[in-house]
A = this chain, B = another copy of it.
Amino acid sequence: MRAEIIAVGSELLTPDRLDTNSLFLTSELNQLGIRVVHKAVVGDSREDMRSSFRHALDRAEVIIASGGLGPTDDDITRETLADLLGRKLHLDQAILLQIQERFRRFGRAMPEINIRQAMVPEGATTLPNPRGSAPGIWIEDSGRIVILLPGVPVELRTMFEEQVKPRLVRIAPSERLHKRDLRITGLPESDVEQRVSPLYAMYPDTETTILSSPSGIQLHPRMWSADAAKAEKILDEITGRMALALGENLYSMKGESLEEVVARVLTENRATVAVAESCTGGLVAGHLTDVPGSSSYFLGGVVCYSNDLKTSLVGVPAELIASKGAVSSEVALALADGIRKRTGATLGIGITGIAGPGGGTPEKPVGLVHIGIADERGPREKAIRFPGDRERIRIYATYAALDTLRRYFPYSAHGRG
C-alpha cells in the first residue's frame, strides 16, 4: 500500500521552514505497513494545490495532507480538494457547535470566519480535533483515501493517533516494517560502512540506513515482512553480526543516547563524576545533566576558561600551566585529578583544548583536545585532533569525553541488547 504526504503552506516554501510533520507521519504509516512513496510541499495557491492532489491521486492509495484548514482566506485545502473531487461543501451543524463550544470555553464568541471550518465535502467523515478548532477530513474516492489534517504538530499527532490510525489499521496490509537502531561512536562513517556493508548482500531482504550526527553514527537496519517472528530473527542475526564487526564502538543496540548509556553505567557501578572543562565550556556538564535523575551520579563541575580559575577552583599549579601550556596532557591530567579531589567524586574528567578559530599553533593546532579521566589510582589522558569549525570541535570533544567515561567501565557492564 502506497502513501503520499502533502504539506500545505506558503511558509513551508521559504528558506526558514521544513515540513517535519512528514517524519512523524512516515514513521506511523510504516508501522502500519504503508510505504511513503512521495512527499510534496505546496503553497496556498489553488492551482498548485489542485495539481498536487491530482498527481497524488494517480500515484498513491492513501494521501495525507497537512495544513490549510484554518479559518482565513489563505486556508483553501478543504475547498480545493472538494472541487477536485467534484463534491459540494455543506455546513456540518454538529462540527459548528463543537467549534462554538470551544470558543465559549475560552470565554469568547466564535468569529464569523470560523464557520468555514465547519464546511465538509459531501460524503466525507469529519475527524474531531481535541487540541484546536480545525477538524480533519477523511474522504474515500475511487479506491483512494484522502485525509486532511491541521498543520500544527500537536493537533496533527493527536488526531492521527486517535482518529486516523484506528481507521487505517482496519485496511492496512499485513506486511509491517521491523527495524533496529544501533549507535556507534569513535569511528568515522566510512569505517562503519566498510565494517558492516559486507553484511548487506548476506541479508538481501533488509535495508540499512546509515546516519551521521555529532554524537556518532547510527545504523538503522529494517525489513518489511508479514511474518513478524521471521523478520525479528533476521534482524537479530544481522545486528548480531554488526555488533561483532563494531566491537566496543557500539554503545547501544536499542537507540539509546550516549548520555543515557553513560547514566546507566555510572548508576549500575554506583559511581559519581565531576568535570573540569576548558574548551568545551560547560557542554560536558550540560550533556551529563540532560538525563533526568542525573543528580544521583553527577556532582558538578567547573568551567575554568581562564588560567586563574584552573588554579583557584581546581588546584592546577600555576607553574604547570606556565611551563606546559594550558592545552597540554599535564594540565588535562591535573584538571581530572583536581576536580575529583575537590568534589569527592569517584571519577574526575578534565578537558582542555583549542576550539578555535584563533589560538592554534603548528605544535598545538585548532582542534587539538586533551581529555583526562581520574580515579582513585590517579589520572590518565588521551589527545585527539578533531576536524571542523569551533562548533563541531566543541561538540565532538564533548561526546569524546562522554565516551571516555563510558569506556572506563568494563564493556560487559553496558548491558546492550
Contacts and interface: CB of A to CB of B under 8 A. Distances in A.
Oligomer copy total: 2
A142 to B, nearest CB: 18
A45 B37 contact: yes
A30 B14 CA distance: 9
Interface residues of A, number: 75
Interface stretch (A19-27, A83-91, A100-108, A374-382): A19-27
Interface in A40-55: 40-43, 45, 48, 51-52, 55
Interface stretch (A130-138, A226-234, A288-296): A288-296
Contact of A41 (B39, B277, B343): B39
A364 to B, nearest CB: 15
Nearest to A210: B11
Contacts of A274: 309
Contacts of A357: 292
A358 interface: yes
Interface string A228-249: 0000000000000000000000
Contact of A300 (B43, B283, B305, B356): B305
Interface string A9-35: 001111111101011101100100001
Given A288-B281, A300-B313, A20 B23 contact: no
Nearest to A23: B15
A293 B303 CA distance: 16
A302 B300 contact: yes
Interface of A: 11-18, 20, 22-24, 26-27, 30, 35-43, 45, 48, 51-52, 55, 58-59, 209, 211, 218, 220, 274-275, 277, 280-286, 288-290, 292-295, 298-306, 308-309, 312-313, 342-344, 355-358, 390-391, 394
* The 4 nearest A-B residue pairs measured at CB: A281-B289, A282-B285, A282-B282, A15-B27
18 contacts: A13-B26, A13-B37, A13-B38, A17-B209, A17-B211, A18-B20, A38-B40, A38-B52, A39-B40, A40-B41, A282-B288, A282-B301, A282-B303, A290-B390, A300-B303, A300-B306, A300-B309, A308-B343
B299 A305 contact: yes
A312 B35 CA distance: 58
A65 to B, nearest CB: 14
Contact of A302 (B40, B301, B306): B301
Contacts of A292: 356-358, 390
